[in-house]
């Protein structure tokens, strides 16, 4: 039986408890909200093993907190991410994924001419064409997809791994929008065992329903999330650029995890239950093999059409 947030609870995240397993997500409105939270709550304190590790390595553009913060504050992307997107786009174009799949009904807008409509087409008017009125229509029903980028990666991942996921997410979003889907993008750090049962009990009074036991620490899933692109907004590389900067996760999100859940946890495949709580349809995570991006995107498109 699920247990959710109480009406008068001080808890500031969404959660459910099912058979002593906690599913939780702290949602920030934007990256600015996440950064503001860090500045107010943590100040200059940094919960990370080392600056070099937290920033993804010593030989990358964002290899210090100062450089990372500058990129995050400005919304700029690294040159490496831009290059990776160009390379991946070329590979996916070669594989035919930037063309509409056969049998898919396009939801793109088209002009229809008739003897009645929204506005007059000047060329047809001058040519004395009776069908001089034009109306813009959309073929098919527009569908909406929330794409997630999971930046919650394990200790051994470098800046390369973060950038690979970001590039894959960007190209996937490009293809989906070209197919007529409305795309929203969320950046999330979702992992397991990052909640501390005693911490949750002491701070929030959360325990498993109908049981005196604490929540199963090792079997719970928690996430910190924010939306970087709304459905109505055009796709912009700057919107997802922060997901390629390791310090976003290893500094700012670490602090949020410590504050809300009392721990950091580990990387493990996100369950459907947790994705539903976060509100993500398709997740780009570090669970695909390098060189298989084409197959990965093909499967996403097939699953959406089935």
- Highest mean pLDDT: which of 116-120, 175-179, 300-304? 175-179
pLDDT of residue 15: 85
Residue 150 has pLDDT above 90, yes or no: yes
Among 199, 197, 306, 222, which Cα is nearest to 15's?
222
Residues sharing a CB contact under 8 Å with residue 265, sequence separation 6 or more, in sequence order: 191, 192, 193, 194, 195, 222, 257
Q: How is the chain split into domains, by residue range?
A: 26-107+142-189+226-305, 108-140
Quote the pTM value.
0.79
pLDDT tens digit sequence for 55-109: 888 777 898 999 999 999 998 988 899 999 999 999 988 888 887 554 454 445 5
Across 246-265, average pLDDT: 88
In this structure, of 38-42, 104-108, 140-144, the range with the lowest mean pLDDT score is 104-108
Q: Please report which confidence band the pLDDT of residue 292 belongs to, taking 50, 70 and 90 as the band edges.
A: confident
pLDDT of residue 278: 95
Estimate to the nearest angstrom the gap between the alpha carbon of 109 and the chain centroid.
27
Residues sharing a CB contact under 8 Å with residue 180, sequence separation 6 or more, in sequence order: 106, 107, 108, 140, 142, 143
Q: Please report which confidence band the pLDDT of residue 172 belongs to, taking 50, 70 and 90 as the band edges.
A: very high
Average pLDDT, the chain: 80
pLDDT tens digit sequence for 11-29: 678 888 887 788 889 999 9
In this structure, of 43-52, 125-134, 193-202, 247-256, the range with the lowest mean pLDDT score is 125-134
Across 126-132, average pLDDT: 65
Across 139-145, average pLDDT: 69
Residue 274 has pLDDT above 90, yes or no: yes
pLDDT of residue 234: 92
């Amino acid at each position: 039986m699920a247990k959710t947030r109480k009406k008068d609870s001080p808890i500031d995240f969404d959660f459910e408890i099912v058979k002593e397993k906690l599913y939780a997500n702290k949602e920030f409105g934007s990256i600015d909200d996440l950064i503001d939270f860090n500045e107010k709550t943590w100040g200059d304190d940094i919960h990370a093993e080392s600056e070099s590790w937290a920033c993804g390595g010593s030989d990358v553009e964002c290899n210090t907190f100062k450089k990372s913060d500058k990129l995050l504050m400005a919304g700029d992307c690294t040159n490496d991410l831009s290059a990776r997107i160009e390379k991946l786009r070329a590979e996916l174009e070669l594989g035919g994924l930037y063309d509409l799949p056969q049998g898919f009904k396009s939801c793109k807008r088209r002009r229809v001419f008739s003897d009645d409509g929204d506005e007059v087409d000047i060329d047809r008017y001058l040519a004395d064409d009776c069908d001089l009125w034009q109306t813009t229509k959309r073929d098919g029903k527009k569908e909406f997809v929330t794409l997630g980028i999971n930046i919650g990666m394990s200790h051994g991942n470098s800046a390369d791994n973060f950038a690979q996921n970001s590039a894959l997410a960007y190209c996937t979003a490009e293809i989906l929008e070209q197919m007529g889907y409305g795309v929203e993008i969320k950046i999330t750090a979702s992992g397991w065992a990052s909640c501390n049962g005693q911490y949750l009990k002491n701070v929030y009074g959360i325990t498993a329903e109908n049981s005196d036991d604490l929540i199963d620490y090792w079997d719970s899933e928690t996430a910190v999330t924010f939306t970087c692109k709304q459905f109505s907004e055009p796709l912009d590389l700057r919107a997802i650029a922060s997901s390629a900067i390791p310090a976003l996760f290893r500094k700012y999100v670490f602090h949020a995890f410590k504050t809300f859940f009392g721990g950091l946890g580990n990387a493990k495949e996100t369950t459907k239950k947790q994705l539903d709580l976060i509100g993500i349809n398709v997740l780009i995570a570090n669970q695909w093999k390098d060189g298989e991006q084409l197959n990965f995107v093909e499967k996403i498109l097939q699953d959406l059409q089935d």
